[in-house]
């Protein structure tokens, strides 16, 4: 089975290509390096011990799809390629609507034109906003989006669902990721944040590495056990494996339509202070931090109920928060040494 991975040089895409290979799938990657580097391809090749089939191209261009689909017989697509900076999406919404939504519509049109019927889509727990009850299940309501980025995930989920409804043999799954962190334990691939990281773990590791000032903990007056906000941090390798499980489920569907969506998290909520403590335990290093005001737009707490993905995808996490933070630190050390 040959799987096309859009955004295959990116953080989650690169780890997923490795897990697809481990599971016996052939892969074809497409990326335009708008938020990644060619070294990620070399890293993947070193881990899997063979060359990858790679196309440099913009998935917002019809010509990219025509070239890919005329040269490769693709059985399914995992669609990671998108922009993901929440703050930038507020400042430049059209950049996000074009790259995340228009390119997804074009992909679906091209899938229809070339008869490619299986799709896994990268969605986000951002679709839940602040859920009324925790842990959040897939039956929780989708809330009005807090940012253009979040809106692109909601709209793409709806576009994909409607495409399945209208198309006799189309199979698709949306995976709602919680907070992916960490890196492959080979430290040959990992996350490459551009500029000052907005996300907790890359800022923390850069701070400890001396590249940034002390970590600002955004708010300690939330209604949580220690007052800091709670999230569900998942190791990127566990997240990558969920895509293999999702593809296996899609590929064994009988003729006819299939659409479903799944939470992909650990099921455990961790506060910002929990992350700091776990990082210190994993590395033996001290985190220099200070409490700052809440960050605008942040929800208090969100973590996943993964019963549905455990039962239907047959997937569960294997790594701990400490594993993920240790791997994130090893990756950070490697980046400093470059
Ligand atoms: P990433 O930026 O590391 O990877 C995305 C990749 O897509 C990059 O390599 C980028 O160069 C490529 N790309 C972007 N636009 C493209 C285009 N038009 N044509 C070709 N390539 C293009 O991001 P990531 O963290 O790996 O996220 C992957 C997906 O998961 C995204 O859709 C993101 O919205 C979603 N997601 C990420 C998180 C997270 O916290 N990282 C959480 C939930 C959902
Ligand atoms: C986590 C916690 C911060 C930085 C974002 C997107 C979401 C998804 C994942 C793509 C929060 C606190 C952070 C810092 C801090 N991405 N924090 N100091 O906000 O849960 O989710 O990434 O879909 O859509 O919104 O992740 O890592 O930014 O923050 O105290 O310097 O860490 O306030 O409580 P978030 P995050």
Structure tokens at 105: 């519509």
Question: Is residue 96 among the annotated active site residues?
Answer: no
| Coil, strand or helix at 79 | strand
Separation CA 52–CA 302 (nearest Å): 37
- Residue 174: CB atoms within 10 Å: 24
**Per-domain boundaries in the chain:** 2-182+233-265
Instruction: Specify the residue with its C-alpha closest to ligand 2, atom 14.
Output: 200
Q: Which atom of ligand 1 is nearest to the CA of 79?
A: 32
For residue range 240-288, list pLDDT tens digits in order.
999 999 999 999 999 899 999 999 999 999 999 999 999 999 999 999 9
- Residue 133: CB atoms within 10 Å: 8
Separation CA 32–CA 36 (nearest Å): 8
For residue 236, how far is its CA from the centre of ligand 1 (angstroms)? 13
DSSP 285-305: PPPPEEEEPPPTT--SB--B-
For residue range 115-167, list pLDDT tens digits in order.
999 999 999 999 999 999 999 999 999 998 999 999 999 999 999 999 999 99
Separation CA 126–CA 47 (nearest Å): 32
DSSP 97-163: IIIIIIHHHHHHHHHHHHT--EEEEEEEGGGG-S-SSSSBPTTSPPPPPSSHHHHHHHHHHHHHHHH
User: Which pLDDT does position 323 carry in this prediction?
Assistant: 98
For residue 36, how far is its CA from the centre of ligand 2 (angstroms)? 20
For residue range 285-332, list pLDDT tens digits in order.
999 999 999 999 999 999 999 999 999 999 999 999 999 999 999 999
> Does the complex come out with an ipTM higher than 0.85?
yes
- Residue 299: CB atoms within 10 Å: 17
Report if pTM > 0.80: yes
Instruction: Specify the residue with its C-alpha closest to ligand 2, atom 5.
Output: 199
Residue with tokens 């709602």: 176
User: Which pLDDT does position 338 carry in this prediction?
Assistant: 67
Start-to-end Cα distance in the chain:
36
Give the CATH number of domain 2-182+233-265; options: 3.20.20.140, 3.40.50.720, 3.40.50.1100, 3.40.50.1950: 3.40.50.720
pLDDT at 12 over 70: yes
- Residue 49: CB atoms within 10 Å: 7
User: Which pLDDT does position 153 carry in this prediction?
Assistant: 98
For residue 285, how far is its CA from the centre of ligand 1 (angstroms)? 30
For residue range 27-55, list pLDDT tens digits in order.
999 999 999 999 999 999 999 999 999 99
User: Which pLDDT does position 312 carry in this prediction?
Assistant: 98
Instruction: Specify the residue with its C-alpha closest to ligand 1, atom 39.
Output: 180
């Amino acid at each position: 089975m040959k799987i096309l991975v859009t955004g295959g040089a990116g953080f989650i895409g690169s780890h997923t290509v490795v897990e697809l290979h481990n599971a016996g799938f052939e892969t074809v990657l497409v990326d335009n390096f708008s938020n990644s580097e060619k070294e990620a391809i070399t890293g993947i090749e070193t881990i899997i011990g063979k060359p990858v089939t790679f196309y440099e191209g913009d998935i917002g261009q019809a010509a990219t799809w025509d070239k890919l689909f005329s040269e490769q017989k693709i059985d399914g697509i995992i669609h990671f390629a998108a922009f993901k900076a929440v703050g930038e999406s507020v400042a430049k919404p059209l950049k996000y609507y074009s790259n995340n939504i228009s390119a997804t519509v074009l992909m679906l049109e091209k899938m229809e034109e070339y008869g490619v019927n299986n799709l896994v889509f990268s969605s986000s727990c951002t679709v839940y906003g602040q859920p009324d009850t925790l842990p959040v299940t897939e039956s929780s309501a989708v809330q009005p989006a807090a940012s253009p980025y979040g809106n692109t995930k909601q709209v793409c989920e709806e576009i994909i669902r409607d495409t399945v409804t209208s198309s006799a043999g189309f199979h698709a799954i949306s995976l709602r990721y919680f907070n992916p962190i960490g890196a492959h334990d080979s430290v040959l691939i990992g996350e490459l944040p551009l500029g000052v990281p907005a996300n907790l773990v890359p800022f923390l590791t850069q701070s400890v590495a001396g590249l940034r000032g002390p970590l600002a903990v955004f708010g300690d007056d939330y209604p949580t056990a220690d007052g800091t906000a709670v999230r569900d941090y998942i190791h990127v390798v566990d997240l990558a494996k969920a895509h293999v499980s999702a593809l296996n489920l899609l590929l064994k569907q009988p003729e006819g339509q299939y659409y479903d969506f799944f939470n992909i998290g650990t099921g455990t909520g961790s506060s910002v202070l929990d992350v700091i403590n776990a990082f210190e335990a994993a590395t033996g290093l001290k985190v220099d931090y200070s409490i700052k005001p809440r960050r605008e737009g942040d929800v208090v707490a969100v973590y996943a109920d993964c019963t549905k993905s455990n039962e239907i995808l047959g997937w569960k996490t294997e790594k701990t928060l400490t594993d993920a933070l240790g791997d994130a630190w090893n990756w950070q050390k490697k980046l400093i040494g470059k």
